[in-house]
C-alpha cells in the first residue's frame, strides 16, 4: 500500500535503511594513508617559510612545489589555487597536505609545523568588486520623476552552511597508472576535469566512481574538485593510496557556504502599480571568485522574483574579501534576492497604503510577458491557481484577518516565486552538451548511463522510471547504476535543478529512439545528445535574453507564533503548492518539497553563521543550529500539473524551487506577529529583540 | 588496553581495547559495523545512534568502558528483526529516507521510542527524535511513518 499514487520505492532505499549502503568512509581502505590539510591561521599575507618538522618514516609533506602542471582548481572561474603558493588569502586556506598512516600523529605534526608569514591587513568589507554585472529594462528615468510613492530599503541575508549529514570525504588510489577516485560528490566529471587540469594528464588516466553520498545541497559541487586536485598532486609524488575525510568542525570551518548578501531596492509606485525598481545586489564572494559570477547572475535574474515590473535598473557585484570563498548552495543566489524582493514589495505596498496581498497578486507575471532580463515567459504560467490552492489549504484569508493586528503575536505570510531550471541561457546546448547512453543486452535488459549523482533526491530511481515508462517495460528490466566515468558519458553536473528537466528529457528521447529500433534478443546501443528549445537565446555579457530553458513555480505559506518575552519564533504551519510541470514520482517530489522548505525555514530564522576576524565563529553543530524535528510542524504540499513541452512527460525541475520561497514567507509571518518590518535573516531572537526595541523599525 | 566483553547484536564479543576509546570507533573501525555513521562526533546529530540495553545512545560520546557486560545493538543486528521490517516498511512508504545517512540511527531511535511508548503523540515523536538530525526530509515523512507504524500497533 502506498500513500502516493505514482510512486515506486527508490532503488537504494532498502540498502540505506538497513545500513548496507557504503558511503566514502565506509569503503574498504586498508593501508590507505590519511591526508591532513595544513591550513593558514591568518586571513591574509605572504608565506615567508614553512618549517616542517622531521617527518617519521612513511609520512609525507606535499605543497605547491609539488604541483605537476597547473596550480588552479578547475572551477567556472579558475582563480583558486590547489595549494596556497607564497601567499594566503583567507583563514584556513590549504598550504599543504601532511600524509601518513596515523591520524593522531598527523595532528601532532600539523601542530609542530610552523608557518612564518608577513601579515597584511585583511579586508572583510564589501568594497573591492571582483565581478560586476548590470542591465536595464524599459526606462526607469521616465518613472523615477513621476510617481506617487517611493521607498528605498536594504536587506541582508547571512551565510548558510549546507550541513549534509555526511561530511566531505574522498579516497584515491592508483590502478596501474590510472588514478581512481571515490568520493562524496555531486559532479563526477568536475572532479575528473580538475585532476586532468592540475596534472595535465590524459583524461583516460583518471576515473571517478560515485559511492553512496550523504547529502550535498550544492556543497559538494565544487569543493571535492579541490580535494581531488590536492590528493592527485600527492599521489603522483608518493604513489600510495590516500584517504581524506573531514571531521564536522573542519567541514563547518573550511568548506564553502552560501553567499551572504546585501541588496538595496528603490521602488516607484504610480496609480497603485509598482512601475519601476532600481536595485544593487552585493554578494560576499570570499577570497576567490570560483562560481560566484554565475551565482550573481542567478541572483540578478531573480531580482524582482515572479513579479512583472516594466522599468528596471539593476546592478550587482561580487566582492572579494579575505574570507572562506562562498559557492553553490541550493538556489544559487536566487534565495537572497527573492527574500529581499518579497519583503520589499510588501513594504512598498504598505507605504502606498495598499493591501500587500492584493498588490502582489496584481503584479504576478503572465505568459508572454517580458522577463527582468528582456526575455520572454514562453510557457503557460499557473501562479494564480497555485496561490488560490495554497490559500485554501492554509485558511489564509481568515487567519490573515485574525492575526493582522498589534499584539497578536501570531502571523501568516505567503511568498510566490519562480526558479529557472537548468544552466543559464543556452548553456545546456553550448557548454554542457550532455550525451546520454542507453544500451540493451541480449536478455533485453536496458542499461541507463548518466553522470547524475543521487545524493538523496532519488534521481537514480526517477530517471530509470522515465526510461521504463517510455519503453513500456517493467522497471526491473532497466538498470541505472551510480556514475563511473569509465562507463558513463557526461550528462552534466548534478546541479542547477537540471537533472529532471534536461537529463530526464534526454532519457525520454533516448528511450523513444531505442523503442523505434528495438530488436528482441539483440545487443543495441543508442546515444542521445541534448537539443534544447531553439527559441532560447541568451547573451551572457549583457545579461539579456532567455535566461533559462524553462521555469518552475511555487507558493509557500508559513504561519508562526511569537513569544514577546524570549523573542522566539515558533513555526506553526507550512503549506506549499508547486508547478514542477509534472511529477514523475510524487513521493520523491514531495520529499524535495518538505526538505527544501525545512532548510529554507532554518535559513530564515535559525541558522546563524558569523565571521569574526575572518574566522567562522560557529565550529560545531551545537553552535550552528539547524532545524530538529521539534522545530517544524507537519508540512502540506500540493502539486499542480502544467506540462512542459521540453520535459519528460512534461517534467521541469524541483530541487531548488522548494528552497527559494521559504525564508520570505516566514519573514512576512514574523512581521505580522511582531507588527514591525524586518530587514535581515536569520531573524533570530537577538535580531528580533533589536527590531522590537528600536523605534525606527 | 583491556579485555572488553559485551554482546553485540546478540553475540558475545571479546576485544582488547582502550576503555576510553569511543564506542563508535570500536564498532566502525575494529568490528566493521559501518551502518553506524559519524555525523558530528559531539552528540549533536544522532547518526551514530546504537541501542545499549534497549536505550538509544550516541556511540560517539560513549566510551567502550561503559558497555562492558551490556547488550549493544546496531542496525546490522536490528535489520534482521520483525520490528525493523515494520518500521522500515513505513519509512519506505512515506519516503522517510533520502540520502540515508541519518536513517539507521533514526530507525534505531524509533524502535527505542516505540518500545517505551507504543502510542506516542506527534509531539512525543518529535521530541524523541529531536536528537537525530536529518537535512533531507524536513522530518515530515519520518514523523508520519513513525505515527503510522505506532497506529498499526503490535508488540515491540
Q: Is A144 exposed, middle or buried (0-12, 13-18, 19+ CB in 10 A)?
A: middle
* B133 vs A: CB within 8 A: yes
Separation between Cα atoms, residue A354 and residue A358, nearest integer Å: 8
Asked whether the beta carbons of residue B94 and residue A9 sit closer than 8 angstroms, the reply is no
Same domain as B111, residue B71? no
- CATH number of the domain to which B115 belongs: 1.10.150.120
Q: Count A/B contacts: CB-CB distance under 8 Å.
A: 171
pLDDT band for A566, please (50, 70, 90 cuts): very high
Residue A1, pLDDT > 60, answer: no
Backbone angles phi, psi at A586, to 5 degrees: -55, -45
Same domain as B121, residue B91? yes
Q: ipTM score here?
A: 0.98
- H and E: helices and strands count for chain A: 18, 28
Q: What is the pLDDT of residue A5?
A: 80
- Please give the grid coordinates belonging to residue A351: 507605504
Same domain as B70, residue B6? yes
Position A140 in a domain: no
* B105 vs A: CB within 8 A: no
Same domain as B85, residue B72? no
Same domain as A434, residue A415? no
Separation between Cα atoms, residue B98 and residue A591, nearest integer Å: 8
In which domain, by residue range, is A102 found? Answer: 24-118+163-254
pLDDT tens for each residue of A600-629: 999 999 999 999 999 999 999 999 999 999
Q: What is the 3-state secondary structure (H, E, C) of A272-303?
A: CEEEEEEEEEEEEEECCCECHHHHHHHHHHCC
**Pick from A13, A167, A621: which is nearest to B97 by CB?**
A13
Same domain as B44, residue B24? yes
Q: Angle A188-199/A223-238 helices, nearest 10 degrees?
A: 40
Separation between Cα atoms, residue A655 and residue A217, nearest integer Å: 9
pLDDT band for A694, please (50, 70, 90 cuts): confident
Q: How many domains does chain B have?
A: 2
Asked whether the beta carbons of residue A164 and residue B36 sit closer than 8 angstroms, the reply is no
DSSP state of A83: S
Of B77, B98, B122, which one is at a domain's C-terminal end?
B77
Same domain as B129, residue B65? no
Residue A539 distance to chain B (closest CA, Å): 35
**C-alpha A59, offset from chain centre:** 37
Separation between Cα atoms, residue A243 and residue A230, nearest integer Å: 11
24-63 in chain A: CB under 8 A from chain B = 25-26
Q: Cβ neighbours of residue B95 under 8 Å, at least 6 residues apart?
A: A4, A7, A10, A458, A587, A588, A590, A591, B137, B141
> What is the DSSP pairing of strand A635-639 with strand B55-58?
unpaired
Separation between Cα atoms, residue A388 and residue A592, nearest integer Å: 22
Same domain as B67, residue B18? yes
**Pick from B37, B104, B130: which is nearest to A630 by CB?**
B130
* B112 vs A: CB within 8 A: no
- CATH number of the domain to which A112 belongs: 3.30.365.10
SS3 A613: coil
Position A127 in a domain: no
Q: What is the pLDDT of residue A2?
A: 62
pLDDT, mean of residues A378-394: 98
Separation between Cα atoms, residue B156 and residue A23, nearest integer Å: 30
pLDDT, mean of residues A356-368: 98
- Please give the grid coordinates belonging to residue B120: 506516542
Of A254, A272, A294, which one is at a domain's C-terminal end?
A254
Same domain as A367, residue A284? yes
Same domain as B63, residue B27? yes
Residue B114 distance to chain A (closest CA, Å): 17
Asked whether the beta carbons of residue B126 and residue A630 sit closer than 8 angstroms, the reply is yes
Same domain as B96, residue B140? yes
* B45 vs A: CB within 8 A: yes
Same domain as A681, residue A617? yes
pLDDT tens for each residue of A220-254: 999 999 999 999 999 999 999 999 999 999 999 99
Q: Is A48 exposed, middle or buried (0-12, 13-18, 19+ CB in 10 A)?
A: exposed
Backbone angles phi, psi at A492, to 5 degrees: 90, 175
Average pLDDT of every residue of chain A? 97
Residue A697, pLDDT > 60, answer: no
**Residues in chain B where the model's pLDDT stays below 70:** none
Same domain as A243, residue A110? yes
Same domain as B66, residue B95? no
Work out the percent of chain A whose per-residue pLDDT is above 70: 99
Q: Cβ neighbours of residue A619 under 8 Å, at least 6 residues apart?
A: A249, A252, A253
Same domain as B98, residue B61? no
Same domain as A287, residue A183? no
Of A213, A233, A254, which one is at a domain's C-terminal end?
A254
In which domain, by residue range, is B143 found? Answer: 81-152
Enumerate the residues of chain A whose CB falls inside 8 A of the CB of residue B32. Answer: none
Of B47, B77, B107, which one is at a domain's C-terminal end?
B77
Enumerate the residues of chain B whose CB falls inside 8 A of the CB of residue A624. Answer: none
Q: How many domains does chain A have?
A: 3
- CATH number of the domain to which B60 belongs: 3.10.20.30
Contact A571, A603 (CB under 8 A): no
pLDDT tens for each residue of B11-26: 999 999 999 999 999 9
Enumerate the residues of chain B whose CB falls inside 8 A of the CB of residue A18. Answer: 35, 75, 79, 84, 88, 104
Position A150 in a domain: no
Same domain as A435, residue A414? no
pLDDT band for A425, please (50, 70, 90 cuts): confident
Position A14 in a domain: no
Separation between Cα atoms, residue A192 and residue A275, nearest integer Å: 48
Same domain as A458, residue A312? no
Of B11, B43, B77, which one is at a domain's C-terminal end?
B77
Same domain as A555, residue A511? no
Same domain as A362, residue A215? no
Separation between Cα atoms, residue B79 and residue B75, nearest integer Å: 6
* B27 vs A: CB within 8 A: no
Same domain as A588, residue A616? yes
SS3 A38: strand
Position A19 in a domain: no
Same domain as A506, residue A436? yes
Same domain as B142, residue B129? yes
Enumerate the residues of chain A whose CB falls inside 8 A of the CB of residue B107. Answer: 17
H/E stretch holding A546: none
**Pick from A21, A164, A588: which is nearest to B135 by CB?**
A164
Q: What is the pLDDT of residue A269?
A: 98
Residue A656 distance to chain B (closest CA, Å): 13
Amino acid at each position: 500500500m502506498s500513500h502516493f499514487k505514482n510512486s515506486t520505492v527508490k532503488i537504494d532505499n532498502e540498502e540505506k535503511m538497513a545500513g548496507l549502503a557504503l558511503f566514502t568512509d565506509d569503503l574498504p581502505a586498508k593501508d590507505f594513508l590519511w591526508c591532513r590539510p595544513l591550513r593558514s591561521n591568518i586571513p591574509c599575507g605572504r608565506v615567508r617559510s614553512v618549517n616542517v618538522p622531521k617527518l617519521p618514516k612513511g609520512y609525507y609533506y606535499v605543497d605547491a612545489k609539488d604541483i605537476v602542471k597547473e596550480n588552479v582548481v578547475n572551477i567556472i572561474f579558475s582563480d583558486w589555487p590547489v595549494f596556497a603558493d607564497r601567499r594566503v588569502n583567507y583563514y584556513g586556506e590549504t598550504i599543504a597536505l601532511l600524509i601518513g598512516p596515523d591520524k593522531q600523529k598527523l595532528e601532532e605534526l600539523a601542530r609542530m609545523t610552523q608557518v612564518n608569514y608577513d601579515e597584511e591587513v585583511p579586508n572583510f568589507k564589501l568594497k573591492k568588486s571582483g565581478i560586476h554585472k548590470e542591465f536595464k529594462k524599459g526606462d526607469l528615468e521616465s518613472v523615477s520623476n513621476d510617481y506617487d510613492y517611493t521607498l528605498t530599503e536594504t536587506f541582508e541575508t547571512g551565510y548558510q552552511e549546507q550541513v549534509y549529514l555526511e561530511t566531505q570525504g574522498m579516497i584515491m588510489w592508483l590502478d596501474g597508472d590510472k588514478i581512481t577516485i571515490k568520493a562524496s560528490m555531486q559532479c563526477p566529471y568536475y572532479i575528473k576535469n580538475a585532476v586532468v587540469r592540475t596534472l595535465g594528464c590524459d583524461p583516460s588516466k583518471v576515473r571517478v566512481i560515485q559511492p553512496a553520498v550523504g547529502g550535498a545541497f550544492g556543497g559538494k559541487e565544487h569543493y571535492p574538485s579541490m580535494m581531488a586536485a590536492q590528493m592527485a598532486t600527492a599521489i603522483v609524488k608518493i604513489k600510495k593510496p590516500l584517504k581524506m575525510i573531514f571531521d564536522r568542525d573542519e567541514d563547518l570551518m573550511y568548506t564553502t557556504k552560501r553567499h551572504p548578501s546585501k541588496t538595496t531596492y528603490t521602488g516607484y509606485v504610480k496609480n497603485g502599480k509598482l512601475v519601476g525598481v532600481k536595485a544593487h545586489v552585493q554578494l560576499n564572494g570570499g577570497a576567490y571568485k570560483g562560481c560566484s559570477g554565475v551565482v550573481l547572475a542567478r541572483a540578478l535574474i531573480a531580482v524582482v522574483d515572479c513579479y512583472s515590473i516594466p522599468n528596471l535598473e539593476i546592478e550587482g557585484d561580487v566582492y572579494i574579501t579575505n574570507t572562506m570563498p562562498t559557492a553553490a548552495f541550493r538556489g544559487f543566489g536566487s534565495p537572497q534576492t527573492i527574500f529581499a524582493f518579497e519583503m520589499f514589495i510588501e513594504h512598498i505596498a504598505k507605504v502606498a497604503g495598499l493591501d500587500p496581498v492584493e498588490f502582489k497578486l496584481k503584479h504576478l507575471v503572465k505568459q508572454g510577458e517580458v522577463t527582468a532580463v528582456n526575455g520572454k515567459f514562453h510557457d503557460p504560467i499557473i501562479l494564480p491557481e497555485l496561490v488560490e490552492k495554497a490559500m485554501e489549504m492554509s485558511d489564509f484569508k481568515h487567519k490573515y484577518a485574525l492575526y493582522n493586528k498589534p499584539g497578536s503575536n501570531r502571523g501568516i505570510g505567503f511568498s510566490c516565486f519562480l526558479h529557472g531550471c537548468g544552466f543559464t541561457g543556452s548553456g545546456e546546448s553550448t557548454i554542457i552538451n550532455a550525451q546520454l547512453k542507453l544500451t540493451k543486452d541480449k536478455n533485453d535488459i536496458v542499461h541507463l548511463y548518466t553522470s547524475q549523482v543521487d545524493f538523496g533526491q532519488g534521481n537514480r530511481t526517477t530517471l530509470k522510471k522515465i526510461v521504463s515508462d517510455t519503453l513500456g517495460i517493467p522497471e526491473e528490466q532497466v538498470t541505472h547504476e551510480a556514475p563511473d566515468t569509465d562507463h558513463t558519458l557526461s550528462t552534466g553536473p548534478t546541479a542547477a535543478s537540471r537533472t529532471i528537466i534536461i537529463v530526464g528529457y534526454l532519457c525520454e528521447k533516448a528511450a523513444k529512439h531505442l523503442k523505434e529500433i528495438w530488436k528482441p534478443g539483440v545487443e543495441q546501443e543508442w546515444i542521445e545528445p541534448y537539443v534544447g528549445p531553439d527559441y532560447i537565446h541568451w547573451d551572457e555579457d549583457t545579461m539579456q535574453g532567455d535566461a533559462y530553458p524553462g521555469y518552475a513555480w511555487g507558493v509557500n505559506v508559513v504561519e508562526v507564533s511569537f513569544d514577546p518575552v524570549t523573542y522566539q519564533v515558533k513555526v506553526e504551519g507550512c503549506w506549499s503548492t508547486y508547478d514542477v510541470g509534472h511529477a514523475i514520482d510524487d513521493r520523491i517530489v514531495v520529499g524535495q518539497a518538505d526538505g527544501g522548505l525545512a532548510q529554507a525555514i532554518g535559513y530564515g530564522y535559525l541558522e546563524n553563521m558569523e565571521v569574526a576576524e575572518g574566522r567562522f565563529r560557529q565550529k560545531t553543530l551545537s553552535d550552528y543550529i539547524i532545524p530538529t524535528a521539534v522545530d517544524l510542524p507537519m508540512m502540506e504540499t500540493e502539486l499542480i500539473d502544467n506540462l512542459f513541452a521540453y520535459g519528460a512527460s512534461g517534467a521541469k525541475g524541483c530541487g531548488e524551487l522548494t528552497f527559494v520561497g521559504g525564508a520570505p514567507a516566514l519573514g512576512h509571518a514574523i512581521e505580522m506577529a511582531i507588527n514591525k518590518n524586518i530587514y535581515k535573516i536569520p531573524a533570530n531572537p537577538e535580531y528580533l529583540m533589536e527590531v522590537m526595541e528600536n523605534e525606527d523599525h | 588496553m583491556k579485555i572488553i566483553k559485551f554482546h553485540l547484536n546478540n553475540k558475545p564479543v571479546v576485544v582488547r581495547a582502550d576503555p576510553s576509546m569511543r564506542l563508535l570507533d570500536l564498532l566502525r573501525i575494529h568490528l566493521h559495523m559501518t551502518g553506524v555513521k559519524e555525523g558530528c562526533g559531539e552528540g549533536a546529530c544522532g547518526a551514530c545512534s546504537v541501542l545499549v540495553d534497549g536505550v538509544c545512545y550516541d556511540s560517539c560520546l560513549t566510551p567502550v568502558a561503559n558497555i562492558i557486560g551490556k547488550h549493544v545493538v546496531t542496525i546490522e543486528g536490528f535489520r534482521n528483526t520483525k520490528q525493523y521490517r515494520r518500521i522500515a516498511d513505513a519509512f519506505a512508504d512515506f519516503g522517510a529516507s533520502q540520502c540515508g545517512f541519518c536513517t539507521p540511527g533514526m530507525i534505531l531511535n524509533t524502535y527505542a521510542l516505540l518500545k517505551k511508548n507504543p502510542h506516542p503523540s506527534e509531539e512525543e515523536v518529535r521530541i524523541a527524535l529531536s536528537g537525530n538530525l536529518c537535512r533531507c526530509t524536513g522530518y515530515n515523512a519520518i514523523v508520519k511513518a513513525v505515527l503510522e507504524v505506532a497506529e498499526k500497533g503490535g508488540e515491540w
